[in-house]
Amino acid sequence: MSDKFFIEVDCEQKNHEGERICGDVFVTGKVQEENRIVVVLSDGMGHGVKASVLATLTATMGLNFTKEHKQPEKTAEIIMKTLPECSVRKISYSTFTIIDIEYDGKTTILEYDNPECIIIRDNNLFHPQWKTLALDNEPNAGKKIKICMFYPRKGDRIVFCSDGVTQSGMGTPRFPFGWGNDNVARYALGILKNEPRISARSLATRIVNMAYRNDGFHAQDDTSCGTIYYRDPRELLICTGPPYEKENDSKLAEIVKDFHGKKIIMGATTGEIISRELDLETKNEIEFKDADLPPVSYMEGIDLFTEGILTLNKLENILKRYNSSFTLGKGPADEIVKLIRESDEIQFIIGTRINIAHQDPNLPVELEIRRTVVKRIAKILEDKFLKKVKITYI
């Protein structure tokens, strides 16, 4: 992303009480060649499957049209014309917030009927100049969309949500007209005052959980909160596999020693090299927290030390399935996902020496060589999680 800061994007959601499918849809996309990030939150009319279909269609169109640099009012018109009509209410309706972040940080926000985005700078509300555009063409003539553009500073936050957040608690003595945008903003400011470096995900989770509490822990609507945080990058190093030439063992160890972020070692041979070269003590765990994988080990100065290729395969499978409602376990691959979620720039150091153990024809077919699995993981991290990934072979 921008050289000035990293853009962290995340979202937390709760389904309407009794629904298995969320009627709000959150999508992100990265335009690699332009170094742009596009984020969309859409709220389909009602809840359940119908709402999800409307919101999915809206979010997908919003994402693709914005990537193509279509004019905001044109994007809004096409979306509204395309939505299928509800057979009961005879209207097609889905709200949306589209946020387009360019390589230099320039941020453009397009809103239609979602609660207004909350922008926070230096622990105060920041109010960019909003423009209101009225659509001209039938059948949406007169409908209004709002647009703003600003250049963020390091530390800025954007909080955007569906009306399940702002209308939470409606009808209760405390919030007869709902929680409201002003109260959401005050709550977010209070969190940031006490935890100025809270992650985008944690801030979104706290806001959604408070909305859920306002509703007496029975969500009266699909409830979604997205957050964006412009900040210094958090770095993660993942080393797996021994160097091709043994003379490079010391080089690998120096890379690990000099790295200032979080560190993961994957593979017993890799761990032995790091331990030997840096004179670090290791300790083996005996408790299996994932039936599919060997237990983790512990090494001084290393945040996580796991088995290699099996854990990489499990990691890929989890990342493919992961979404805002996915519950992580306590196994080694799950712990790696947690560290990845807390990081922005992920550097893989891949040793290219072939491990004789993995040439056994009796091993599962899907036990592919390390570099192939890591390439697939890197693509998922870039496309789905918007991470910056670098792979180095040694």
Buried b vs exposed e over 221-232: b needs ≥16 C-beta within 10 Å? bbbbbbbbbbbe
Parallel, antiparallel, or unpaired for β 282-284 and 297-299? Answer: antiparallel
Query: What DSSP string runs through 162-212?
Result: -HHHHTTTTTSSS-TT-S-HHHHHHHHHHHHHH-TT--HHHHHHHHHHHHH
pTM of the model: 0.76
Rg value, the chain, Cα: 23
Contacts of residue 216, defined as CB under 8 A and 6 or more positions apart, other chains included, come to 172
Going from N- to C-terminal start, the domains of the chain cover 6-231, 235-393
Q: E strand or H helix at 373, and its extent?
A: helix 370-383
Contacts of residue 217, defined as CB under 8 A and 6 or more positions apart, other chains included, come to none
pLDDT tens figures, 36-61: 999 999 999 888 898 999 999 999 99
Q: Which of 166, 152, 52 is nearest to 100 (CA)?
A: 152
Whether the per-residue pLDDT at 194 is higher than 80: the answer is yes
Determine the CATH number of domain 6-231. 3.60.40.10
Contacts of residue 355, defined as CB under 8 A and 6 or more positions apart, other chains included, come to 241, 242, 267, 269, 308, 309
Whether the per-residue pLDDT at 359 is higher than 60: the answer is no
pLDDT (mean) for 349-362: 68
Query: What is the DSSP-derived secondary structure letter of residue 62?
Result: H
pLDDT tens figures, 72-117: 888 888 888 787 665 565 566 789 999 999 988 899 999 999 999 9
pLDDT at 285: 81
